[in-house]
Every structure is written in C-alpha cells, then in structure tokens.
Amino acid sequence: MNAGIQYDINTELAHDQAISPRGRKSIRLPITPEYYNELMKDAPQFRRFVDEQFQQHPELFPDEMTTHYQLYGFIPPSAKLGIKIRRIQIIPNDTRSCYGIYPSFVMPYMAARVEDAEAILFLSRFGVPYWALGYVFKRDAMWCYRLVRSLGRCSIVGTTVKDEDALPVHLVADEKHSRRLGDKCYVATTAAEECILGASVASQADTKHLQRAYGVFQKEAFDIEQDYQPKTVNTDGWSATQQAWKALFSSITVIECFLHAFLKIKAVARVKTQTLFQEVGDRVWDVYDAPSRAAFSQRIRRLQDWALEQSNCPIIQNVLKLCRKKIRFAVAYSHPNAYRTSNQVDRLMDGMDRFLFSARYFHGTAQSAELSIRAYALLHNFTPSCPKVVKKYNGQLSPMERLNGFRYHDNWLQNLLISASRNGFRGSQQNPL
C-alpha cells in the first residue's frame, strides 16, 4: 500500500521536475562552425548577427528581449567540445537576464556535435534499442539514452508551434496504455495537424490524474498565448478524459470519436456473423458520411429502425448503443473543421507504441518516464517524413514544418535545436509549469 502511495506522489511531481529551468538561458541560433569562429573574434560582428536574428526570429528570444542589451563575456570553453559561448545581458542590468548564445551545430549540455548525434536520434524515434544504437555507433548505450532523454526538458508546444496563430483550435486526445516498474500507467497524448502537442504520464486514468497530465499541454500553450482556448477536442467515450478537458478549458466542445463506436461493433463480430458485420459496417459508415446534421440524424434513425428489426446479438446491441449516442456525434457538424474520429492521434500512438515496446516500457522514475515520452514527441514532430509524404507536401520535411509553414534549417536536428531555443519557452518566469 505504501509503495502505491509513493508511486502516485512521484507521478504527481514528475511533470514539474522533468521540465526544470535548466536550459531556459540558452538561446540557440543557426550558425555554421566556420562563421561561429569568426563571430567569436569580432564582437561588433557578433552583435550585428544577434540583431539580425532578433529581427527575423523574435520568437527564439525571451519576451523581455529588446535591442538594448550588452555583450557579457564568455562561458568557459566546453571540456567535451572545446567550444566557447558568448553571453549577452539584457538592459536594465540584472544578473538573471544573462543568456548564452549557442550555435545550432552542438547538442544541449555540449554532449556532442549535431553530425555525431543526428543518426542516433533519428533511429531512436523508430524504436531502435539503445544497446543497438550504441553497438552501431560505437557509443555507450546509456550515453544514447541520455542523449534522447535530454530533449524531453523542452516545451513540446513551444518548440513545435512557433507562432500563436499556428496553435490548433481543434485537438484530438487519447491515452496510451503502458507500464512503469510493472504497474499500469497512461500516456495522456494530445495531437493536431500531424503533431504530438502533449505527452505526459499519468499513474491512473481517473479525472484527477488525467487533468494534471493533460494540463501540461495547457500550461505550455498558455506560455505562447495566455488566452488560448481550443474550440473542440475529439476523445473516445472514457468519461474521465472528457471531464478532464472540460475542467481545463471551460468553453471547449467535446466530440466523441465515431471510430471507437464502430470498433466496439467490430470487436464482437465472430466468424458466424461476418455477413451481418459487413452489412452493419456499410450502414454505419453511410451514417458517418452524411453531408449535414439533418441527413446524419435521418440516417441514424434509419439505422436504428433496421437494427430493431434484426435478431438480438452482440453486434446489434452495439449498433443500438451507437444510435443512442447520436447527439454526441452530431455536435461535430457545428464545427466543420473539427476531428470526428481519433485517427489523428491513433496513428501517432502507433509509433509511440514501437518506441515504448523496444525499451520494454518505463523502468525508472516517474521523472525519467516523463522525459522519455516527451523526447519521443519532439522527435516525431521534427524528424523527416518518408519521401512519399515529403513529395506530397511539396518538400516540407516534417510535421513541424507543415504546421508552421517554414523551417529554420535544412538539417532536421538543427531545426529542432533552434526551435528549442530557451527550451521552447518564451516567458521570463523561471518555471512556467
């Protein structure tokens, strides 16, 4: 009993501990190694470069940043890479307003250069075990693990969404069932526009724990836009999920997933009832394809009348359950751009499942689990899609680029690191979470 209580306490603290203030003073900008060496020798040129970047990409700098700043010495060279970092201080003078200007070709904490880490991080997104990565790239498995996990300290929303106008107003949410230290846990996942915008581990699937887990997305979104209010969220029929979202965003409309209702029908189909299931499937999806709310209501009434004429069996019982939820499904017609099924998040959780399975789920602390799943979310958002998808989107490499309409750098990892300037946070507070 005590172990269970301690587990819950650790889970409650994990969200805030994982997103520590470390890295909030690191501004990352697109700089080549050759140009960086020049900038280190020429202070006026360095200042001109910072001014240009501030004019082009103010979102990479803290909100308090203005052109009134001064160069403020150097951070001692890294023992690992030997790279020196110049600092700036925002005026009026305040030691808490000192920031390091880091080049995009080095990893956080000077762990490695981008060219040495890129392949490891790319393959880890697809669930390649850490021991295999270490074997191929002649690295220690724990080094690979820490390299991946270090990305989890960044704000998922702030790193992925670079403009408040790009914040999606229609969301999809679901929980990925997993395990930590042998006990069940749930990854509360928020998605939209092919991006994972929230991923946080909850020890239980009740309203209280899910509200806290989904609340991490809320807090990160508020860091970009304080008045952010999504219009809709698509969820399955789990009431705790729906109540959690209503508690977080009072004006949000919850749209129940039509696909989950169909899958419940499919789950009870047997060999002897395959013919009936085929007919049911055609009728159910004909209801889904209704072009208007009136047509939807008409078709679902016809489906219900047809089901009542059939012999009673598990398939028909689930069809009637679907029909009784017609009001929950029909509300989607008031929001034409909303997600009517959870397919948007289900597809993304397929990759998450491979990532978790290769590691045999979570073995460490709640904080470690939180960092790992957040790192996966960012890797999904920034790693290049397959060539067919890139061609389909006219050369846009990643979900992040398709959401924002641009990229900072052609190299996906440097694009991620630049986007994660100040760990993706904009506000000046020490720890907005």
Q: CA-to-CA distance for 364 and 366, rounded, in angstroms? A: 7
Sites in the chain below the pLDDT cut of 50: 1-10, 428-433
pLDDT at 272: 64
Tell me whether the omega of the peptide bond preceding residue 92 falls within 30 degrees of 0, making it cis: yes
* Among 348, 31, 349, 22, residue whose Cα is nearest residue 155: 22
pLDDT at 81: 87
Which residues pair with residue 233 across a beta bridge? 171, 254
pLDDT at 9: 43
Query: 102 Cβ partners below 8 Å, 6+ apart?
Result: 26, 27, 28, 29, 85
pLDDT at 19: 61
The DSSP bridge pattern shows strands 26-29 and 69-75 to be unpaired
pLDDT at 95: 54
pLDDT at 18: 59
pLDDT at 430: 41
Q: CA-to-CA distance for 25 and 98, rounded, in angstroms? A: 7
pLDDT at 214: 96
pTM across the whole model: 0.89
pLDDT at 21: 59
pLDDT tens, 6-18? 444 445 556 565 5
Q: CA-to-CA distance for 232 and 335, rounded, in angstroms? A: 8
* Among 17, 27, 20, residue whose Cα is nearest residue 420: 27
